[in-house]
Homo-oligomer: A and B are copies of this chain.
Amino acid sequence: MTDAEVEARGRDILSRQPFSKSLGVDIVSMGVGRTALRMPIHEGLTQHLGMVHGGVIATLADMALAFTGGPVMGDGAVTQEFKINYLRPGVGDALLARGEVVASGRNQAVVRADVFVIAEGTEKLCASAQGTIMRAAR
């Protein structure tokens, strides 16, 4: 696949994901082995301390992992597992996640993703994740 095909396929998948759409996740750019996703922050995404809920950050990280690793292996990839470290409270205007393939084979891809919080025009690292994307046909 070319970068353009990867992005077109990503946009099609995203358009059929009710949960991601309800969060306002948007594709900034995609290519072979890399993804950038964006999600605006609003009060509905917060927890009791006023920060973005950790589950929202984990969701965006999971999506960046899957959207990055999936195209490397073809249709029907799913997240097998991942790990996330929270580094900074999610307080600001938007979240930006960037995924990058570490290694890939026929049946699995190992991917890293960083989630940044954008506040007053500045990106700050908010969380870092690493995980495995596998072909869905298991």
Contact = CB atoms under 8 A, between A and B. Distances in A.
A22 interface: yes
Nearest to A128: B102
Nearest to A12: B48
A73 interface: no
Interface string A93-119: 000000000110111101010100000
B88 A103 contact: yes
Interface residues of A, number: 53
Copies in the complex: 4
A56 B19 contact: yes
Contacts of A79: 54, 86
A110 to B, nearest CB: 5
Nearest to A106: B138
B59 A46 contact: no
Given A110-B87, A130-B85, A132-B85, A78 B103 contact: no
B86 A53 contact: no
B102 A85 contact: yes
Given A18-B43, A48-B13, A83 B86 contact: no
A125 interface: yes
Interface string A66-84: 1000000000101111111
